[in-house]
Chains A and B, each alone.
Chain A
Amino acid sequence: MLREMAVSAIRTSKLSKDYGLARGLFELDLDVAPQEVFGYLGPNGSGKTTTIRLLMGMIRPTGGAAYVFGLDCRRDSVAVKRKVGYLPGDLPQFGSLRGSEVVAYLGGMRGGADPTAVRSIAERFDLDLNRRFREYSSGNKRKLGILLAFMHKPDLLILDEPTSGLDPLNQQEFYELLREARDGGATVFLSSHILSEVEHVCDRVGILRAGRLVRVAELEDLHHIRAHHVEIEFAPGTPVPEGAIRSAAGVEDVTVDGGRVRCTVRGSFGPLFDAIHDASVTDLVSTEPSLEEIFLSYYSEPEQAQKALPE
C-alpha cells in the first residue's frame, strides 16, 4: 500500500495510437495521483475512449507507454485489471440474462461478487437485479454498468462517460458514490464531454482535442473557459441598457433585437447583473453551451489554446 501511494495511479509517457488521417491519440503525457478524481474532457472523437482503451490494455499503443500503479498496461494487463473497475461507453447486450446473473457472471471472473457491496449499490440506484437485461431501460443498463465497475471496490475507477442516460436524481447519486469511493481511497479517471459534470466531482481536468492533450487544469481554472449563453427579455417600452451590457466584464457577443438581448457570459454573472440591475427584466434564460462550442471558440487555433488558460 505504501509503495502504491508512492507511485502515480495513472502515468502515460508519449502515449500514442495513430489510426491514420490524423485520427487517434498523440504523445499523451499524463500523471494522475492516487485518490485524485481526474476528469478527462473533450469533444466527441477527441480521443477520450482511445485513451481509456489504451489504459485498459484493450488496444496496443503505436508509441509510448501507459502505467497503472506502476504496472505496464500492456505487459501486466491482468494485474492492472485486478485494481481497476471499468465502465465502458456502451454496455454490451446480455440478452435474456437477468441483472443478477450478469453481476454473478462478471463478478465470478473476479473470483466472486461481494453480495453486500452489490446490494448496497443496487439499492441506492433502485436497480432490480431480478429483471432480464433486455427489459432494462438505457438508464438501468447504465446503472448496471456502474454497479459492475464499483462492486469490487477497486483502487482505480476508469469510467467512460458514466452519467450518459442517467436521470438527474441518479446522476446526483452517482456523484455521491464517486465521492465515497474517493474518500475510501480510490482514484477516479472519468471521461466526459459535459463541463458542469466534471466541475461537480473532479479535482483536476485534462482537456483533449483532436487527439492531443491541450491542457491539464485545476478546478478553479475551469471558470475561465466556462461560458453561458444568456437571453434577456426586457419589459415592453422600457430602455435596454445596451451600453452597460456591452461594457460589462466577461460579457461577449452581444446582440440586441428590440427588447431582447442575447450574449455570452464567461466567468461570473456579477458584472452582467450589475449592468441590468436598474432595468425591468421579464425573463432571463441561461444555457450552458456544448463543449464543442467552447472548444470551437477557445481552441480553434493552437496558439489560442496556450493563451486560454493561465499557467
Chain B
Amino acid sequence: MTAIALGLRVGRWGVLGFSILSFVSSYIQATGFYQLAGHTPAQRAAFAKTMGQLASQLTLILPPPTSLDTVGGYVQWRSFGGLAILFAVWALASGSGAARGDEERGLVEAVLATGTTRSRWLASRVIGFAAASFVAAFASGLGLVVGAAGGGESVGFRSVLEISVALAALGLSCYALTILIAQFASARAATAAAGIVLVILFLGNTLSRTFTWLTSWRWLSPFHYYELNQPLAPGGAFDVRATITMLAIAAVGAAVAALVFESRDLGGPFLSLPSRPRPVSYEPSRTPVWRIPVVRGLYDRRVGLAMWAAGLAAVGAVFVALTKTVIQPLLSIPTLTHFFGGFGGGQLYASFLGYFWLTFAELLFAGFAITQVARWASEDTEGKLELILSTPQSRAAVVVERAVALTVGAVLIAAVSGVAVALAAHYQAMNVSGERLAEGTLLLVPFALVFAAAGSVLAAWNPRAAVGLLGGLAFASYLVNELGPLFNWPVWLQDLSAFKLFGTPLSTGVDRSGLLIMIAIILVGFAGSILLMERRDVGA
C-alpha cells in the first residue's frame, strides 16, 4: 500500500495535468459540436458529411468515425481518438521513468532496501498508473458530460464509464509494454526503444486502414482493440472482449516485466552484449569535440539525434508512399480528375503530401523540442548546470549554446528527413517541387525553435514544471489552430499558434509574415530566458 501511495505521489502532477487536458479536450469538442453542427437534423447531417470528409484525411491519426451528427459520435472521434495518442505518450514517459528512471535516481534501490520485493514494487507502479489513467480518462468523460449539458443534452453515465475504462485500458497496456521493453534496454535507450515499439504498434494499426497487407497484423496492436470500443456513438458499443484483451496485454506485459526484473541486475538491462574489457586509463578523452562549444553538446547527444533523424526519414518515406496510395485511386475517377486539376494550384501531390507529412512532422518537431527542453530542465534539477556554471561559462553563454545546439540538431534532422522524402517522392514519380519541399522542411526548424524558446523561458523560470507546462502550451497551440477557425476566435490569437504560423509551405509557399513572427518569438523567448536565467538561483 505504501509503495502504491509512493507511486501515486511520484505521478501526481501527471494525473493532474492529464486529467485537466483530457477534461478540456472533451469539453471543448462537445461545446464546439453545438456551435458548429446546428440544431436541425438537416444541419447536423450536413455537418456530419463535412466532418466525414475531414475524417477520411485524418485516418492516419484518428480512427474512422461513426454518427458524427451526434455529440457522442463527434466527441468519440475527435477527442477520444486523439486522447489515445496522448495516453500512449503519457504511458511511455511514466513507464520508462518507473522501470528505469527511478533506478537511475536511486529510488528503486532505496525502496528495495526496505524489504519490498521487486515484483511488488513493479506491481505497485502498475496499479498506481492504472488508477491515475482511469482518473484522467474519467475526467475526459466528465468533460463530455459537462459540454453536452451546456447543449441541453445528457450523456449516459454507463457509456462515459465504458469509454473511460477502454481509454485507461489502452494507457495501461502501453504502460505495461513500456516497462517490459525497458527491462531489455539500457537505461539510456529504454524510452527510445519502447517509443519505437509503440509507434510501430500505432502506425501498424492506422496504416492498415490504407495498406491492406497490414490488416493481418493489427491484432498485435492495443490501439486496434481500443478503436473497437465506440460506446459514446449511438449504435456503437463497448467491446468487452477488446477491452479484456487490452487488460490481458497489460497483465501479461507487467507479469513478464516483473519476472525479467527479478532476474536482472539493478541499473543494467536483462541482456547485454559482452563488452570488450578496456584497459585502465588515467587519461582524459583526446576527442577534440569536447572543447568546441555547440559541437560538444551535439556529440553528447549524437545517438538521440541519429535516432530522431533516421526515425523521421523513415516515417517521411512511409508518408510519401501513403500519399501516393491515397491519391492514385482518386485520380483514376474521371470526375475527380477535373476537380483535382484546380486543387492547390495544380500542386496536387504537394498539397496532400504537405497535409499528410508536414502536419505529422510538425508534431514530431514539437516533440523533439520538448525532449530537448526536458534535458535542459533535468540538467538544472540534477545539478549538472551547477557544475557547468562552476566553469568560466556565463549563464547567457549556456542559454545561447543550448539554442544553437538545438538549432543545428533540428537542421540535421530536417535535412535528413527532407532528403528521404525527396528521394521517396522521386522514386514514386510524384511531382513535388524540390525547392518548396526544401523550404517546407527547413521551416520545421524555426517551428521547433518556437517551442524551444518557450521551453527555455519555462526552464529558466521553473525547471521542475517546464516540461509539463510546455506540453500544455504545445497542446493549446495545436487546439488554437484546430478550433480557432471553427469558433471564429480572434486572428491575433490564432497567429500565436506555431501550427498556424507554419502555414502550408508545400502548396502555397512559405508564409513570410508567419516566419517573421516565429523568428520574433524565438528571439524574444531566448532573450527573455537569458534575463530570467541571470536573475535566478541555481541549485537552490
In whole Å, how far is B536's beta carbon from the nearest beta carbon of chain A?
A: 8
Interface residues of B (CB under 8 A from A): 104, 186-188, 267, 278-287, 290-292, 296, 300, 379, 382-384, 386-394, 535-540
Known: A88-B387, A92-B383, A104-B287. A109 touches B392 (CB 8 A): yes
Q: Complex Cα distance A110/B291, Å?
A: 8
**A81-113 vs B: 1/0 string, CB under 8 Å?**
110101010111111111011011111111111
Instruction: Show 25 A/B contacts (Cβ-Cβ < 8 Å), sorted by A.
Output: A53-B537, A53-B539, A58-B386, A78-B393, A81-B390, A81-B392, A86-B390, A88-B539, A90-B383, A91-B387, A92-B386, A92-B387, A96-B188, A100-B281, A100-B283, A100-B284, A104-B284, A106-B387, A106-B388, A108-B291, A109-B388, A109-B393, A110-B391, A111-B291, A129-B284
In whole Å, how far is B299's beta carbon from the nearest beta carbon of chain A?
A: 9
B540 / chain A contacts, CB cutoff of 8 Å: 53, 58-59
Identify which of A115-123, A164-172, A179-187 touches chain B. Answer: A115-123
B300 and A105 contacting across the interface, CB-CB below 8 Å? yes
Q: Is A130 an interface residue (CB 8 A)?
A: yes
B535 and A60 contacting across the interface, CB-CB below 8 Å? yes
A95 and B282 contacting across the interface, CB-CB below 8 Å? no
In this complex, what residue of B is CB-closest to A125?
Answer: B282
In this complex, what residue of A is CB-closest to B396?
Answer: A78
B391 and A109 contacting across the interface, CB-CB below 8 Å? yes
Kindly list the 7 A-B residue pairs having the minimum CB-CB distance in the complex, ordered from nearest: A92-B383, A122-B282, A104-B285, A104-B290, A86-B390, A109-B391, A59-B537
Q: Complex Cα distance A128/B279, Å?
A: 9
B387 / chain A contacts, CB cutoff of 8 Å: 86, 88, 91-92, 106, 148
Report whether over half of chain B's contact residues are helix, strand or loop; otherwise say mixed: loop
Interface centre among B291, B393, B536 (most CB of A within 10 A): B291
In this complex, what residue of A is CB-closest to B297?
Answer: A105
- Extra contacts, 13 of them, besides A78-B393, A103-B285 (Cβ < 8 A), are A53-B386, A53-B539, A53-B540, A59-B538, A78-B394, A88-B383, A92-B379, A98-B285, A104-B284, A107-B290, A108-B292, A115-B283, A129-B284
Q: Complex Cα distance A274/B382, Å?
A: 54
Known: A58-B389, A92-B387, A130-B278. A105 touches B290 (CB 8 A): yes
A118 / chain B contacts, CB cutoff of 8 Å: 282-284
Q: Complex Cα distance A123/B535, Å?
A: 40
In whole Å, how far is A68's beta carbon from the nearest beta carbon of chain B?
A: 12
A92 and B382 contacting across the interface, CB-CB below 8 Å? yes
In whole Å, how far is B332's beta carbon from the nearest beta carbon of chain A?
A: 53
Contact among A88, A92, A101 for B290, CB-based, below 8 A? A101
B388 and A129 contacting across the interface, CB-CB below 8 Å? no
B390 and A128 contacting across the interface, CB-CB below 8 Å? no
A81 and B391 contacting across the interface, CB-CB below 8 Å? yes
Q: Is A268 an interface residue (CB 8 A)?
A: no
Q: Is A77 an interface residue (CB 8 A)?
A: yes
In this complex, what residue of B is CB-closest to A148?
Answer: B387
Contact among A60, A77, A100 for B394, CB-based, below 8 A? A77
Q: Is A127 an interface residue (CB 8 A)?
A: yes
Q: Complex Cα distance A273/B187, Å?
A: 58
A88 and B394 contacting across the interface, CB-CB below 8 Å? no
Q: Complex Cα distance A129/B278, Å?
A: 10
A128 / chain B contacts, CB cutoff of 8 Å: 280-282
B285 / chain A contacts, CB cutoff of 8 Å: 98, 100-101, 103-104
In this complex, what residue of B is CB-closest to A58?
Answer: B538
B284 and A97 contacting across the interface, CB-CB below 8 Å? no
B281 / chain A contacts, CB cutoff of 8 Å: 100, 128-130
A78 / chain B contacts, CB cutoff of 8 Å: 392-394
In this complex, what residue of A is CB-closest to B379?
Answer: A92
A93 and B104 contacting across the interface, CB-CB below 8 Å? yes
Q: Complex Cα distance A260/B284, Å?
A: 56
B267 and A134 contacting across the interface, CB-CB below 8 Å? yes
Interface bracket on A:
35 or more
B282 and A129 contacting across the interface, CB-CB below 8 Å? yes
A96 / chain B contacts, CB cutoff of 8 Å: 186, 188
Q: Complex Cα distance A86/B383, Å?
A: 13
In this complex, what residue of B is CB-closest to A57?
Answer: B389
Known: A100-B285, A104-B284, A110-B392. A95 touches B539 (CB 8 A): no
B188 and A95 contacting across the interface, CB-CB below 8 Å? yes
Contact among A60, A90, A119, A148 for B283, CB-based, below 8 A? A119
Q: Complex Cα distance A101/B537, Å?
A: 28
Q: Is A15 an interface residue (CB 8 A)?
A: no
Q: Is A65 an interface residue (CB 8 A)?
A: no
Known: A97-B300, A105-B296. A113 touches B383 (CB 8 A): no
In this complex, what residue of B is CB-closest to A77?
Answer: B394
Interface centre among B104, B267, B388, B389 (most CB of A within 10 A): B389
Q: Is A56 an interface residue (CB 8 A)?
A: yes
In whole Å, how far is A26's beta carbon from the nearest beta carbon of chain B?
A: 16
B283 and A95 contacting across the interface, CB-CB below 8 Å? no
In whole Å, how far is B124's beta carbon from the nearest beta carbon of chain A?
A: 24
In whole Å, how far is A299's beta carbon from the nearest beta carbon of chain B?
A: 26
In whole Å, how far is B389's beta carbon from the nearest beta carbon of chain A?
A: 6
In this complex, what residue of A is CB-closest to B279?
Answer: A130
In whole Å, how far is A37's beta carbon from the nearest beta carbon of chain B?
A: 20
Q: Complex Cα distance A113/B283, Å?
A: 10
In whole Å, how far is B535's beta carbon from the nearest beta carbon of chain A?
A: 7
Interface centre among A108, A113, A128 (most CB of B within 10 A): A108
B537 and A106 contacting across the interface, CB-CB below 8 Å? no
In this complex, what residue of A is CB-closest to B280?
Answer: A128
Q: Complex Cα distance A130/B187, Å?
A: 19
Interface centre among B290, B382, B535, B536 (most CB of A within 10 A): B290
Known: A58-B539, A130-B281. A95 touches B393 (CB 8 A): no
B386 / chain A contacts, CB cutoff of 8 Å: 53, 58, 88, 92
B280 / chain A contacts, CB cutoff of 8 Å: 128, 130
Q: Complex Cα distance A202/B379, Å?
A: 33
B382 / chain A contacts, CB cutoff of 8 Å: 92-93
Q: Complex Cα distance A53/B383, Å?
A: 12
Q: Complex Cα distance A257/B392, Å?
A: 61
Q: Complex Cα distance A266/B104, Å?
A: 45
Q: Complex Cα distance A79/B393, Å?
A: 9
In whole Å, how far is A138's beta carbon from the nearest beta carbon of chain B?
A: 10
A103 / chain B contacts, CB cutoff of 8 Å: 284-285
Q: Complex Cα distance A252/B300, Å?
A: 59
A60 and B537 contacting across the interface, CB-CB below 8 Å? yes
In whole Å, how far is B172's beta carbon from the nearest beta carbon of chain A?
A: 29
Q: Complex Cα distance A139/B286, Å?
A: 25
A130 / chain B contacts, CB cutoff of 8 Å: 278-281
In whole Å, how far is B282's beta carbon from the nearest beta carbon of chain A?
A: 4
Q: Complex Cα distance A103/B292, Å?
A: 14
A119 / chain B contacts, CB cutoff of 8 Å: 282-283
